[in-house]
């Protein structure tokens, strides 16, 4: 039997085998298959939450010392060890050992190995429930920040291309029929503005996420005189989830609403990927995707398939199903905690990186994408200028309905000659893209996240 001793003592008080005991241990052995089934993928998925679990514990024990549940020297020792563990996590050296149930138990085990019984004091005044909740909130707001940064990168690439090709005309379509003149300035710019609306969704999701559930314990609070305002400030939250029952009810709801925001971004990327694949095909030849983002055929030597955007489209369509997955797991649960919520982590935690991959790949392709600047020399697009002729006649005084009829009859008789000079000047049109105004909207939204507040709180905890 292996024992660990604290430095400077001769008491072998900690049995390494006790690491197998669960926090809820009742003195009987559970069925191994049942344990495997109930733990599921928690040990794997909890690695996503490791750094957030440490930060939450640092704030919690700082508060415990302020209300007399820890001594100052205990707090100092615990904080020092937690900072060391945090560093190991960032370096990729942290792991959840065999036999350890989750990240929370692993951190507590590491503290107890180093500091003895003192390490067990970090759990006073909290439950696994609010510990998981605060971990998820910290993780989610951290990931949302990365999503925001990636959305901004794609936004900038789209705006750059919109300005670069603002005067290059292309057909606009309704019902997949050639309709009216459009431009690559409009096409790229449209997706940029779509990301502005998506950013509004991300901001709403971030606001809901950035509230502190710590101190709600198992959902009914604690008899300890916890200072929840203090942990709210220490962790840089905007406010707390005040009602302790609601704090627990927020699990699943927060993930669902964040998933809706992510799905909104995914919808924009998916539609853009579809357009790009279609416009890249020989039947359109509107754009040329970067060669390194295409793949060949095993039998047709001429093929350059837009596989990257096709996979991006599929991944984004999959992400749009995420809110429904979460909703179906949680929508028939009454108030209080249920183990069903564990399954949400399996679909939710990996989704952020999947969306980030799509955003980063899309930004790369948009930056490298080239457009065909001579599309309109093809006579098949001549008729899309018919509305311009109707508007010209109406401007000269002919009633619109009469102008419409005249141009229609000219087309039927083969007498229509297009004037390809476009004179649109109103806001948001071919000649007035409003890209600066759209960029100003985006910048205002991003500034309103106030990420610097989190940076300051985190730096203070780790100082």
pLDDT of 16 above 50 = no
Burial class, 396, CB count within 10 angstroms (exposed 0-12 / middle 13-18 / buried 19+): exposed
Q: How confident is the model at residue 7 (pLDDT cuts 50, 70, 90)?
A: very low
Name the more confident of 4 and 289: 289
Which pLDDT belongs to residue 397? 97
Distances (CA, A) of 244 to 33, 201, 282, 335, 433: 34, 26, 60, 11, 49
Distance CA 195, CA 189 (A): 10
Which CATH class name applies to 129-171+180-376+433-447? mainly alpha
pLDDT of 208 above 70 = yes
Distances (CA, A) of 347 to 268, 355, 460: 21, 13, 33
pLDDT of 3 above 50 = no
Which pLDDT belongs to residue 27? 62
Residues making up the chain, counted from first to last: 463
Which pLDDT belongs to residue 4? 34
Distance CA 258, CA 438 (A): 24
pLDDT-above-90 percentage for the chain: 84
Q: Which residues fall within 8 angstroms of residue 360, CB to CB, at 6 or more apart? A: 150, 153
pLDDT of 293 above 90 = no
**Does the domain formed by 3-23+32-124 have CATH 1.10.275.10?**
yes
Mean pLDDT across 356-368: 97
Least confident of 30-34, 134-138, 209-213, 422-426: 30-34
Which pLDDT belongs to residue 328? 96
Whether the domain at 3-23+32-124 and the domain at 129-171+180-376+433-447 fall into the same CATH topology: no
Which pLDDT belongs to residue 331? 87
Give the domain ranges of the chain.
3-23+32-124, 129-171+180-376+433-447, 379-413
Burial 421-438 (b: 16+ CB within 10 A, else e): ebeeeeeebbeebebeeb
Q: How confident is the model at residue 99 (pLDDT cuts 50, 70, 90)?
A: confident
3-class SS at 338?
coil
Q: Which residues fall within 8 angstroms of residue 203, CB to CB, at 6 or more apart? A: 445, 448, 449
Mean pLDDT across 39-65: 92
121 neighbors 60 (Cβ within 8 angstroms): no
- pLDDT tens for 393-436 read 999 999 999 999 999 999 999 999 999 999 999 999 999 999 99
Which pLDDT belongs to residue 15? 40
Which pLDDT belongs to residue 43? 78
Q: How confident is the model at residue 34 (pLDDT cuts 50, 70, 90)?
A: confident
Distance CA 209, CA 254 (A): 6
pTM of the model as a whole: 0.90
Distance CA 358, CA 258 (A): 17
Distance CA 49, CA 43 (A): 10
Distance CA 386, CA 405 (A): 11
pLDDT averaged over the chain?
92
Burial 99-117 (b: 16+ CB within 10 A, else e): ebbbbbbbbbbbbbebbbe
- pLDDT tens for 227-284 read 999 999 999 999 999 999 999 999 999 999 999 999 999 999 999 999 999 999 999 9
């Amino acid at each position: 039997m292996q024992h660990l001793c604290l430095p400077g003592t001769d008491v072998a008080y900690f049995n390494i085998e006790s690491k197998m005991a669960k926090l809820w241990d009742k003195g009987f052995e559970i069925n191994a298959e049942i344990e495997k089934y109930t733990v599921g993928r928690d040990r794997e998925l909890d690695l996503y939450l490791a750094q957030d679990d440490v930060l939450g514990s640092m704030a919690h024990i700082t508060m415990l010392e302020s209300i007399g549940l820890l001594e100052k020297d205990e707090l100092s020792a615990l904080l020092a060890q937690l900072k060391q563990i945090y560093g190991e996590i960032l370096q990729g050296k942290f792991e959840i050992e065999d036999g350890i149930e989750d990240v929370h138990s692993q951190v507590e085990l590491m503290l107890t190995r180093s500091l003895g019984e003192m390490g067990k004091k970090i759990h006073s005044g909290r439950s696994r429930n609010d510990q998981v909740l605060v971990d998820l909130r910290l993780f989610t707001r951290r990931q949302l920040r990365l999503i925001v940064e990636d959305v901004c990168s794609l936004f900038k690439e789209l705006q750059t291309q919109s300005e670069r090709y603002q005067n290059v005309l292309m057909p606009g379509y309704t019902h997949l029929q050639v309709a009216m003149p459009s431009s690559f300035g409009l096409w790229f710019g449209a997706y940029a503005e779509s990301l502005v609306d998506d950013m509004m969704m991300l901001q709403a999701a971030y606001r809901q996420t950035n509230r502190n559930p710590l101190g709600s314990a198992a959902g009914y609070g604690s008899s300890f005189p916890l200072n929840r305002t203090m942990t709210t400030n220490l962790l840089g939250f905007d406010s707390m989830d005040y009602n302790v029952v609601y704090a627990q009810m927020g699990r699943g709801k927060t993930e669902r609403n964040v998933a809706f925001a992510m799905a909104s971004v995914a919808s924009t990327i998916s539609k853009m990927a579809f357009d790009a694949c279609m416009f890249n095909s020989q039947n359109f030849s509107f754009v040329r995707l970067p060669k390194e983002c295409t793949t060949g055929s095993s039998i047709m030597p001429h093929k350059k398939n837009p596989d990257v955007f096709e996979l991006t489209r599929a991944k984004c369509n999959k992400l749009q199903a995420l809110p429904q997955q979460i909703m179906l797991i949680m929508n028939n649960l009454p108030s209080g905690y249920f183990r069903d919520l564990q399954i949400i982590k399996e679909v939710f935690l990996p989704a952020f990186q999947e969306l980030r991959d799509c955003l980063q790949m899309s930004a790369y392709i948009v930056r490298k994408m080239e457009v065909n600047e001579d599309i309109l020399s093809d006579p098949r697009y001549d008729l899309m200028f018919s509305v311009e002729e109707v508007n010209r006649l109406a401007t000269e005084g002919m009633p619109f309905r009469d102008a419409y009829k005249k141009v229609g009859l000219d087309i039927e008789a083969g007498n229509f000659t297009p004037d390809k000079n476009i004179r649109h000047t109103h806001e948001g049109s071919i000649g007035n893209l409003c890209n600066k105004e759209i960029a100003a909207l985006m910048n205002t939204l991003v500034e309103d996240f106030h990420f610097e507040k989190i940076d300051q709180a985190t730096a203070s905890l780790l100082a």
